[in-house]
Amino acid sequence: MTLSRRQVLQSTAASALLAGVSQRALAQPAPFETVKIITGFTPGGTSDTTCRRVAAKLAPGYGKSVLVENRAGAGGQLAIQAVRSMAPDGSTILQTPMSMLGIYPFIYKKLPYDPVNDLTPVSQAAHFDFGFAVGPAVPATVKTLPDYLAWCKANPGQANFGSPAAGSVPHFIGVLAGRSAGIDLRHVPYRGTQPAILEMIGGQLQAVSGPVGEFTQHVAAGKCRLIATTGAQRSKFAPTVPTMVEQGLKDMAFSEWFGFYLPGKAPAEVVQRANAAIRTALADKETVDGLEVMGLESRSSTPAELAAMLIADQKRWEPLVKAIGFTADS
């Protein structure tokens, strides 16, 4: 059978197309059978929510099954220790707040991990401000942070607050707020913000310092009162609540970020693959909307940008930690 010129051209074009598709298919690595995103905090909080929202979008393209594993304990250190010992092939991802990498090196004489050499930066995950809330153990007349500090001064036996971890940004926010009024607020560390909030709304704890989104559902239910936020401007998630700076606490503008990391020495192509998948997941409208419910702004980055952010935060927090005088042994 003799082929016409048109048939030859069509056949050639089809072959080229199939070849291109085959090459792209070969260039695209197969999805992992199972991917784990590990967080050092309990289910239901902002860190856990971030992991679960992203995990839902990483499947099935990046991993056929993407699981979230909560390794709570030691203020987020257990999760980092777990990830650092894993193979850097992209199937195990750490999600952590900045504090564990940017502040802990200055409060622990010896950390069980190296924030730089034991982890490979992939992408920022989210950005958020903090809030300071009081519960039913504090009189309803306390409506602002200065009110609370004045009440604590008059009731030193009840002058306390909880945070998600010792040595975390919320911990130091509470300490600095107390010092601004000449008060030593007793700090009570928890394994995440939600356990602290549950104690507070149950009347066993007076106040909690934590990510602003952790409080929204409880404030809406009338179980606690958010009396301050820590951003440079008012939080869009709590626009009626004045910032600490607005309430007269100078230099008290603080925010933080969550980041995604692979084990140390991950190959560049593995990092690029994880970064592309995570950035796509973070840009998805369902992810953005889901994070906003928890007071989080979805933000991605390049690996280099995340590495630079950590260096900048370490430079800011090292002198602050020294001025506060807190160590893990204190």
pLDDT of residue 216: 92
Question: What is the C-alpha to C-alpha distance for residues 297 and 290, in angstroms, rounded to an integer?
Answer: 10
Contacts of 282 (CB under 8 A, 6+ apart): 54, 123, 125, 126, 288, 298, 299, 300
Question: What number of other Cβ atoms are within 10 A of residue 35's Cβ?
Answer: 22
Q: Which residues pair with 39 in a beta bridge?
A: 70, 95
What integer pLDDT is reported at residue 134 of this predicted model? 98
Q: 119 vs 152, 164, 250, 296, CA distance in Å?
A: 41, 22, 35, 24
Q: Which two tokens stand for residue 18?
A: 């199939």
pLDDT at position 231 is 96
Same fold for the domain at 33-127+256-324 and the one at 129-229?
yes
Which stretches in the chain have pLDDT values below 70?
1-27, 330
Whether 267 and 83 have beta carbons less than 8 Å apart is answered as no
- Superfamily of domain 129-229 in CATH is Periplasmic binding protein-like II (3.40.190.10)
May I ask the CATH architecture of the domain 33-127+256-324? 3-Layer(aba) Sandwich (3.40)
pLDDT of amino acid 8: 45
DSSP state of 27: H
| DSSP state at residue 8 | H
Tokens for 329, please give them. 């042994």
Query: Do 223 and 200 form a contact (C-beta atoms < 8 A)?
Result: no
> Residue 24: its pLDDT value, please?
45
How many CB atoms sit inside 10 A of residue 29's CB?
11
CA–chain centroid gap for 80, Å, is: 13
Question: Which amino acid is it at 95?
Answer: Q
Q: Burial, 269: exposed, middle or buried (Cβ in 10 Å; 0-12, 13-18, 19+)?
A: exposed
Token pair recorded at residue 153: 């001064």
- To the nearest 10°, the Cα dihedral for 277, 275, 29, 57? -20
Judge contact between 59 and 67, C-beta under 8 A: no
Name the nearest CA neighbour of 299 among 57, 50, 37, 90.
50
pLDDT of residue 28: 75
State residue 21's pLDDT score: 44
User: Domain locations in the chain?
Assistant: 33-127+256-324, 129-229
